[in-house]
Amino acid sequence: MTANDVPEAARTLWHFHHVNSTPSAADVIIGLGSYDIRVAARCAELFKDGFAPRIIFTGASGNWTSDLFPASEADAFRDHAHQLGVPTEAITLEPRATNIGENVRFCADLVPDAKQVIFVTKPQTQLRCLATAEHQWPGVKSLVTAPDTAFEDQPLPHHDQRALICEMVGDLDRMRTYVTLGFQRHVDVPEPVTQAFDALVAAGYVDHLPQPRP
């Protein structure tokens, strides 16, 4: 793979990971904590547009955020949403979750009577979020959306393009193995996506893989 081939393969994974459900009225908006504060802004936008009366921000402090935020990801997202006009009383924090499965399960415990929820996450995490929610919270209708960010604009100063590509590679690997561990439902991976994944692994984009590769 040449340097010019990397963006094309990365975009293949980028589009595969997208879901972008059309939002509709829900019981709650659930913002998955991460290094990307734009997720909190998207939650605030949905709240102010009237899609749900309540937001739950979920997330502890992880490897990518321990030096980024002074407290948990949930706290940082709450503060940002409040700055954007969401009243504090409309926000609930879940500051313990350290992975998407815990995001889903811990939030399910907070709203056991929910029938429809809107998950908001990073663009490249949407499919993994949906597959996890549909498996671990089967009693609700899960919609998944994200900030409307182009691939070229997704890298951040603290999470550059290489980190983004490695993240997508690692998440695809997890989606294929987490089914057997009972963490999520099966997801069909088209051959062009598998080829893009293999090419990026061969090119060294392996920083986020869950185990060493040969």
The per-residue pLDDT for 1 is 60
pLDDT score, position 213: 45
Question: What pLDDT does 4 receive?
Answer: 63
Query: Which tokens sit at 127?
Result: 């499919």
**Residues 84, 133: Cα–Cα separation, whole Å:** 27
Mean pLDDT per 10-residue segment, the chain (214 residues): 80 96 96 97 98 98 87 97 97 96 97 97 97 96 97 96 97 92 94 97 94 51
Predicted structure pTM score: 0.94
Q: At what angle do helices 100-110 and 126-136 cross, to 10 degrees?
A: 50
Reduced to 3 states, what is the DSSP secondary structure of residue 120?
strand
In contact, 114 and 27? CB cutoff 8 Å:
yes
| DSSP conformation letters of 6-18 | HHHHHHHHHHHT-
Enumerate domains of the chain plus CATH numbers: 5-15+151-202 (no CATH), 19-145 (3.40.50.620)
CB proximity list for 46: less than 8 A, separation 6 or greater: 23, 29, 52, 118, 120, 145
